[in-house]
Amino acid sequence: MTFADIDPPARLLMGPGPVNAHPRVLRAMSAQMLGQFDPEFTAYMNETMALYRLVFQTENRWTFLIDGTARAAIEAALVSVLEPGDRLLVANIGRFGSLLEEIGERCGAEITTVAAEWGQVLSFEALEAAIAEVRPKLFATIHGDTSTTMAQPLEGVGDLCRRYGALFYVDATATLGGMDVAVDRWGADIVTAGLQKCLGGPPGAAPITLSDRAAEHIMGRRHVERGLGASPAAAGRRIASNYFDLAMLMDYWSERRLNHHTEATTMLYGARECARIVVEEGLSARIARHAACGAAMAAGLSAIGLQVYRDSNHRMTNVTAALVPPGVDGEAVRTAMRTEFGIEIGSAFGPLQGKVWRIGAMGFNATRPAVLSTLAALEAVLRMQGWAARSGVEAAHAVFAERGAP
């Protein structure tokens, strides 16, 4: 048996993520390895922390990377805060709210859920009522849930959590670097993300930021790994995961550089470059670019004759869902998009499986050419399926003309 070189076909990834990585990120990841305690490398670690403070819009000292995909940071956040019997309140607006519930259950927490119908978000009043009633140790929510394409409003929620003594966790996997993720303004205590969506990198490193309040709580459970020597500061219940122990990871990212894992060198290079690109572009310009692409995509889909899914007031700007028309084979359309045009769009989960396509315009792919090419290909494929698609390109082009063409 022989194995050929890896030579993947060219694809324009216009689904809910991952998206095409920025060429600068891929170039950065090809740089030579360094030892994890080499002063040059620890300088890159410090620069990565500083860059992500800007991306997260925070002054938090503890802003760093978890080695693993976005889910690694989610699990690190929950397992480092929650102990068996703790109350976890989850705001569930889709599939990934259910993931928070499941991870909380694995931590032994008592789970309460305040849920919205898929395609809707929760009102501030509903969140306040639930937090006041449950008085959780941790309130957790998704900012943008790609399963439903909805973005949960979070202004004022941090104040609520402080009023009722809760820590406030936000999963911003799908929105950091593309929508406004204002950690300090929201008063969020822990926020996590991933590279493979709006940040325009590959999956494999997960940015995280912790408030002083959250860090103090987690450090109250700090234990030094046995093989590293005595643990005079040991206190509280040991965090149930070694790899995802945020207290140990803070020691590793601190000036102490207390050994934990071996940092994923090339992923750090890539994550650093993702953040550097965001900072160079400017957050306001980048957020506006994603908003323009999302508006153009929605306008184009509507002009084709498709129904854009649900609440337009709370839709994510970087992922748009369209209902599969009656009589159209949704998977055949996705296959033809990929094989005939080299473009990938997404299917769906749970109650939306087989009912919608999810189409993203994120990171390196949040551009006029990518949006217009996707709409043109979708029009053609729908006509190939015998569905009377109208043109959506002109409508999208008009949005770009009005807002500026990224």
Q: Are residues 175 and 311 in the same domain?
A: no
Q: Are residues 293 and 391 in the same domain?
A: yes
Q: 11 in a domain, yes or no?
A: no
Q: How confident is the model at residue 234 (pLDDT cuts 50, 70, 90)?
A: low
Q: 10 in a domain, yes or no?
A: no
Q: Are residues 387 and 300 in the same domain?
A: yes
Of 102, 77, 37, 26, the residue nearest 261 (C-alpha): 37
Q: Please state whether the predicted TM-score (pTM) of the whole model is above 0.75.
A: yes
Q: Outline where 255-358 has alpha helix (H).
A: 265-281, 283-304, 330-341
Q: Are residues 245 and 314 in the same domain?
A: no
Task: Give the three-state DSSP class for 391.
Answer: coil
Q: Are residues 114 and 159 in the same domain?
A: yes
For the segment 326-372, what is each residue's pLDDT rounded down to a tens digit? 999 999 999 999 999 999 999 999 999 999 999 999 999 999 999 99
What percent of the chain has pLDDT above 70? 99
Q: Are residues 325 and 395 in the same domain?
A: yes
Q: 166 in a domain, yes or no?
A: yes
DSSP state of 25: H
Indicate which CATH number applies to the domain containing 371: 3.90.1150.10
Q: 35 in a domain, yes or no?
A: yes
Q: Which of 244, 279, 314 is the last residue of a domain?
A: 279
* Distance in angstroms (rounded) separating the CA atoms of residues 147 and 160: 27
Domain that holds residue 239: 22-279
* Distance in angstroms (rounded) separating the CA atoms of residues 141 and 236: 26
For the segment 44-53, what is each residue's pLDDT rounded down to a tens digit? 999 999 999 9
Tokens 């325009």 correspond to 200
pLDDT at 148 over 70: yes
Q: Are strands 138-142 and 87-92 parallel, antiparallel or unpaired?
A: parallel
Instruction: Extract the tokens encoding 13.
Output: 């990834």
| DSSP assignments along 205-229, one per residue | EEEEEE-HHHHHHHHTT----GGG-
User: For residue 177, which amino acid is it?
Assistant: G
Average pLDDT over residues 369-389: 96
Q: 257 in a domain, yes or no?
A: yes
Average pLDDT over residues 305-334: 95
| Number of separate domains in the chain | 2
Residue 230: the pLDDT is: 62
Q: 16 in a domain, yes or no?
A: no
Residue 406: the pLDDT is: 74
Q: Which of 228, 255, 279 is the last residue of a domain?
A: 279
Q: Are residues 224 and 308 in the same domain?
A: no
Q: Are residues 290 and 249 in the same domain?
A: no
* Distance in angstroms (rounded) separating the CA atoms of residues 175 and 88: 23
Q: Are residues 216 and 311 in the same domain?
A: no
Q: Are residues 365 and 345 in the same domain?
A: yes
Average pLDDT over residues 96-112: 98
Q: Are residues 224 and 202 in the same domain?
A: yes
Q: How confident is the model at residue 205 (pLDDT cuts 50, 70, 90)?
A: very high
Q: Which of 279, 297, 317 is the last residue of a domain?
A: 279
Q: Are residues 298 and 353 in the same domain?
A: yes
- Find the helix or strand (DSSP H, E) in which 357 lies: strand 356-360
Q: 66 in a domain, yes or no?
A: yes
Indicate which CATH number applies to the domain containing 63: 3.40.640.10
Residue 405: the pLDDT is: 67
Q: What is the dihedral of CA 41, 43, 49, 52, to 10 degrees?
A: -90
User: 58 or 312, which is more confident?
Assistant: 58
pLDDT at 2 over 70: yes
